[in-house]
Amino acid sequence: ERGASLEPSHPLARGPVASPPHSVDAFVKEFLRELNYGQGVPLSRSSLNDQYLALARTVRGYLTARWLETARKRRSHTERAVGYLSAEYLLGRQLDNALLATDLTQIAEDALHACGIELDALRQVEVEPGLGNGGLGRLAACFIDSMATMGAPCIGYGLRYEYGIFKQTFVDGRQIEIPDNWLSMGDPWEIAHPEMEVPVHFGGHTERYVDEAGRDRVKWIHGWDVLGIRYNYMVPGYQNGVVNTLRLWRARATRAFDLDIFNAGDYAQAVRSQTFAENISKVLYPEDSTPQGKELRLQQQYFFVACSLYDFIKHTQPTDFDVRDLPERIIFQLNDTHPVIAIPELMRLLVDDYGLEWEDAWGITRQCFAYTCHTLLPEALEVWPVSLMERLLPRHMEIIYRINEGFLDEVREAYPGDELRVRRMSIIGDHPERSVRMAHLATVASVKVNGVAELHSQLLRDKVLNDFAELWPDKFTNVTNGVTPRRFVRQANPYLSKLITDTIGVGWVANLDRLEELEVYAEDEDFREKFRAVKAANKERITRVLQRRDGIALPEGHLLDVMVKRLHEYKRQSLKLLHIVTLYDGIISGRLDPASVTPRTVVFGAKAAPGYRMAKETIYLINSAATVINADPRVEGRLFMAFPANYNVTLAERLIPAADLSEQISLAGKEASGTGNMKFALNGALTIGTDDGANVEIRRLVGDDNFFLFGMDEPQVAELQARGYRPADYYETNENLRSAINLIASGHFTGGDRDAAGLFVGDLLSNDAFLALADYQSYMDAQARVEAYYADQEAWTKSAILNVARSGYFSSDRSMRDYIDRIWHVKTGV
């Protein structure tokens, strides 16, 4: 038997070996094996981290068998897959999700118990991978979850940042950023392939030459290279045996760099240049929806996209694959403009490397991409200076020029003589400097362009990309965002999940429309009482969490009012602050009897981009107000503010299920969709919100009676702005508003320091770009309606139940269905 080899065709060589059995005994055995042979420690001497890593690897073992099997099945057919290209994936913790997907939660709990370990203690050890900023990154994570659950072929491509979104702490109320060294304890979920190197080139210049066939060709003489190293993550479907792949890239210096070091006189300088190459995947840029045009960011974008296209063509397709068949095999979804450089990259591959004619290559490229726009803020649409492009990616710049030429010919043909339009639509803009408009490039090359909520898609067509929608009306479509019910209801809210499952069965987890079966229970007193007990239990849980995590002691019996999202002026945390300050001001000035104020706790969670001054000032003011208000006895404990630092996915999972009231108060026409809004509704919070983003659809579905609408709608906003908006008008005519602003300006919250509130107040009174003062009174009135309604707990609970029952639409499974039907046309079921 010695040395007997397995032929490649041998069943054991073709694998996968069977998944370990679903039993407590088998799980114990796997776990101890991972602990002993993986971590190299006996149970008796193992640390919590050892135990967590062993547990994660045990669960990963169960996933791996399914992953290999999914890959094997997919290899045998040649159907089209989705390549989701995203610079961000805000995954959240992996352990619970993997346990749920494999239906191992109970088994793991019992197995660990047998080893004298509490599963919950190990859950706390996991550091969440924060490879995203906010909505866009979390959406990508929800989408890949749903694709796996639908058994749809999808590979997520992105960057393996060594440092994810910064950790936030507060010092004297001010935000301090701490690097997120999330890999420092090891990441048991990733599978590295250091041997899989993808070469990526930068800089240099191009040269023309004539090939053997006498054709004019272009050669890119690279300036410098880096290598892309592949890291795989498993993306399990919910209890369906499917496991898809998320593939993230890390940058490594090439051997040329190493050789330089070897040969160089200046050893230290040579090592520095190696660091330079590896910097590409070092850190996630912390701006959300307002990108800074930093060179390293363009390097990141090109790096991950170049790795991904190369990987898809060379590593996932058969060796005899013909690139002309690409549109039958793949549709790349561009998650915002961040990966749009993939378009000229594919052209370069097809024309320069595969020798296709330009027109053929363009015909193929135009079928391989679809573009999702996630914003309406003009400053969020990325542009790259031509000078930077020419330096970093000279060949791509040439290709973009040529694409633009052909495109502008099309425009001129459709609109003869309309040069103004030609200039508006051009992929190259001239002001303030010559630059590439990535959203235009994406729109020109894509099969479809979609917005992320009905209102947003309509505004894209009517405003931001109007010229394009006129030229190609059929290219534009809407896919309303969604969230995964596995993570955001089933895992995050076990009490509600149990109540739902006990009432209508378990089918809702993979078919969220079934929540509508709960509708009738809104009228059932017994059910309402249970529903309230769930909320109460979730409030107790968040009270424990905030006590342990932040040392915050939440008062009991309050309406829990939650505003969690990135700090941005358009989202209007300022308006929320004005509301609380108005109540407080009313109480201390004697205009408002504290006994008449509904006891309310307002919880904020928000990170500000480190360079965003106004956002940071707002954080400081919120913290300052919290300190003063919480300590003021005149309030008689009826108002409480909490601002736990470092809001992240893990905290969201604890906080959202406990909320009574969801704050979605952006200026109409600014929030593309919002997805937090969906998570709250699904967990039985009522929304106070503007007619913006997906709020519009939430309100339509849950009904006006179960939603607190306020503020101007988008046409009213446009009209007011056209008329000329003067915030001072509102300050002068609204007494409560004036008094609240004066209180802030007086330094009441900032230890008497008027300057500390100066920037905030000054901007509100003289600029107020997002019309907080214009919506103030309407917001205050809506909050008064909230208080009145909350006093009737039976009515409130009915509304909360109806929010749950009518929000099934907001499952990301439905979003994926829409993408598949309208854009991707891929098959599901494996």
Q: Which of 66, 167, 230, 374 binds ligand H53 (CB under 6 A)?
A: 374
Instruction: Give the integer Cα–Cα distance in Å for 376 and 671.
Output: 8
* Triad 610, 229, 321: Cα angle to 5°: 125
Q: Does 284 bind ligand H53 (CB under 6 A)?
A: no
476, β-bridge pairs: 449
283 vs 761, beta carbon nearer ligand H53: 283
> % helix / strand / coil in the chain, to the nearest 5?
55, 15, 30
Amino acid at 502: D
Tell me the closest approach of the beta carbon of residue 88 to ligand H53, in angstroms.
8
Closest by Cα among 544, 60, 550 to 52: 60
In the complex, least distance from residue 674 CB atom to ligand H53, rounded to whole angstroms: 5
CA atoms lying within 13 Å on the CB side of residue 807: 34
Position closest to ligand H53 via CB: 135
Question: Which residue number, 347 or 479, has a Cβ lying nearer to ligand H53?
Answer: 479
- Alpha carbons 150 and 142: distance in angstroms, whole number: 12
By CB under 6 A, is residue 375 in contact with ligand H53? yes
Residue of 86, 493, 673, 783 interacting with ligand H53 (CB under 6 A)? 673
Radius of gyration in angstroms for the set of CA atoms belonging to the chain, rounded to a whole number:
28
Contact present, 359 and 439 (Cβ < 8 Å): no
Q: How far is the CB of 698 from ligand H53 (least distance, A)?
A: 12
Distance CA 23, CA 107 (A): 6
Taking CB under 6 A as the binding criterion, the range among 195-203, 348-356, 528-536, 670-678 that sits at the site for ligand H53 is 670-678
Candidates 361, 471, 672, 681; binder of ligand H53 (CB under 6 A) is: 672
The two structure tokens encoding residue 182: 């999330």
CB of 356 to ligand H53, least distance (A): 33
Site string for ligand H53, 104-123 (x = CB under 6 A): --------------------
Q: Which is nearer to ligand H53, 135 or 344 (CB)?
A: 135
Choosing from 139, 144, 587, 609, the residue that interacts with ligand H53 (CB under 6 A) is: 139
Distance, in Å, from the CA atom of 265 to the CA atom of 260, rounded to the nearest integer, reads 9
Considering only the stretches 132-140, 344-352, 415-423, 579-587, report the one whose residues sit in contact with ligand H53 under the rule CB under 6 A.
132-140
Residue 86 CB, shortest distance to ligand H53, in Å, is: 11
The answer to whether 452 contacts ligand H53 (rule: CB under 6 A) is yes
Exposed e or buried b per residue across 11-33, where buried means at least 16 C-beta atoms within 10 angstroms of its C-beta: eeeeeeeebeeeebebbbebbbe
Active site residue 539: no
Q: Which is nearer to ligand H53, 286 or 674 (CB)?
A: 674
Span from 128-136, 575-583, 592-600, 777-785 in contact with ligand H53 (CB under 6 A): 128-136
Task: Tell whether residue 497 is a contact of ligand H53 (CB under 6 A).
Answer: no
Is residue 348 annotated as a catalytic residue, yes or no? no
Cβ distance to ligand H53 smaller for residue 365 or 695: 695
Q: What secondary structure, in 3-state letters, does 397-452 show?
A: HHHHHHHHHHHHHHHHHHCCCCHHHHHHHCCEECCCCCEEEHHHHHHHHCCCEEEC
Dist CA 28 CA 577 (whole Å): 51
CB of 141 to ligand H53, least distance (A): 11
Q: What is the DSSP letter of 184?
A: T
Cβ proximity to ligand H53, 65 vs 649, nearer residue: 649
Judged by beta carbon, residue 58 or residue 673, the one nearer ligand H53 is: 673
**Closer CB to ligand H53, residue 141 or residue 492?**
141
Among residues 675 and 799, whose Cβ is nearest to ligand H53? 675
* Nearest approach, Cβ of residue 669 and ligand H53 (Å): 12
- The H or E element spanning position 653 is helix 649-655
Residue closer to ligand H53 by CB (options 598, 673) is 673
Q: Which of 46, 443, 481, 797 binds ligand H53 (CB under 6 A)?
A: 481
Kindly state the number of chain residues that form the binding site for ligand H53, as judged by CB under 6 A. Answer: 19
Query: Cα–Cα distance between 67 and 75 in angstroms, integer?
Result: 12
Site string for ligand H53, 682-711 (x = CB under 6 A): -----------x------------------
Q: Give the Å distances, CA to CA, from 634 to 53, 441, 585, 593, 750.
A: 51, 59, 11, 10, 18
Q: Which residues on adjacent β-strands are paired with residue 237?
A: none
Q: Of residues 435, 601, 675, 690, which one binds ligand H53 by CB under 6 A?
A: 675
Write the CB contacts of 19 (distance below 8 Å, at least 6 apart in sequence): 61, 62, 65, 66
Q: What residues numbered 334-373 form the site for ligand H53, per CB under 6 A?
A: 336
Answer for the pair 658, 537: CB distance below 8 angstroms, yes or no. Answer: no
Asked if residue 671 binds ligand H53 (CB under 6 A), the reply is yes
| Residues 169-228 contacting ligand H53, CB under 6 A | none
How would you label 346-377 residue by residue, b for 16+ Cβ within 10 Å and e otherwise? bbbbbbbeeebeeeebbebbeebbbbbbbbbe
Two tokens at 528?
A: 């309402």
> Is 565 known to be catalytic?
yes
Residues 6+ away with beta carbon under 8 Å from 9: none
Question: Of 374, 440, 448, 490, which residue is the catalytic one?
Answer: 374
Q: Is 675 a catalytic residue?
A: yes
**Contact (CB, 8 A) for 547 and 553:** yes
- Least gap, CB of 576 to ligand H53 (angstroms): 17
Nearer to ligand H53, 347 or 672 (CB): 672
- The beta strand positions in 181-279, using DSSP E, are 191-202, 205-210, 216-221, 224-236, 243-253
Rule CB under 6 A: say whether 571 interacts with ligand H53.
no
Token digits of residue 326: 């690409």
- Which residue among 60, 66, 679, 806 is the active-site one? 679
Per the annotation, the verdict on 374 as an active-site residue is yes
Distance of CA 481 to the CA centre of its chain: 11
> Which of 797-828 are b and which e, b meaning 16 or more Cβ less than 10 Å from the residue's Cβ?
bbbbbbbbbbbbbbbbbbbbbbbbeebbebee
494 cis-preceded (ω within 30 degrees of 0): no
Query: Residue 100 and residue 95: Cα distance in Å, rounded?
Result: 9
Task: Rule CB under 6 A: choose which of 380, 438, 641, 761 binds ligand H53.
Answer: 380
Active-site entry in 247, 571, 579, 806:
571
Query: For ligand H53, which residue of 281, 289, 404, 538 counts as binding (CB under 6 A)?
Result: 289
Shortest Å, Cβ 310 to ligand H53: 26
> Per CB under 6 A, which region of 66-74, 77-85, 613-621, 667-675 contacts ligand H53?
667-675
Stretch that binds ligand H53, among 16-24, 129-137, 297-305, 359-367 (CB under 6 A): 129-137
Cα distances (angstroms) measured from residue 462 to each of 25, 273, 426, 452, 634: 61, 48, 18, 15, 51
Q: Is 142 or 580 the residue whose CB approaches ligand H53 more closely?
A: 142
The least CB distance from residue 136 to ligand H53, in Å, is: 3
* 3-class DSSP state of 534: helix
Minimum distance from CB of 144 to ligand H53 (Å)?
Answer: 14
User: If we measure between CA atoms, which residue out of 578, 612, 626, 613 comes closest to residue 764?
Assistant: 578
Q: Binding residue for ligand H53 (CB under 6 A) from 136, 277, 364, 460?
A: 136
Nearest-approach distance from CB 131 to ligand H53, in angstroms: 13
Specify whether 530 is catalytic. Answer: no
Q: Which is nearer to ligand H53, 51 or 675 (CB)?
A: 675
Which residue is catalytic, options 60, 437, 487, 566? 566
Which residues would be at the binding site for ligand H53 (CB under 6 A)? 133-136, 139, 288-289, 336, 374-375, 380, 452, 481, 671-675, 693
Which residues have a catalytic role annotated?
Answer: 374, 565-566, 571, 675, 679
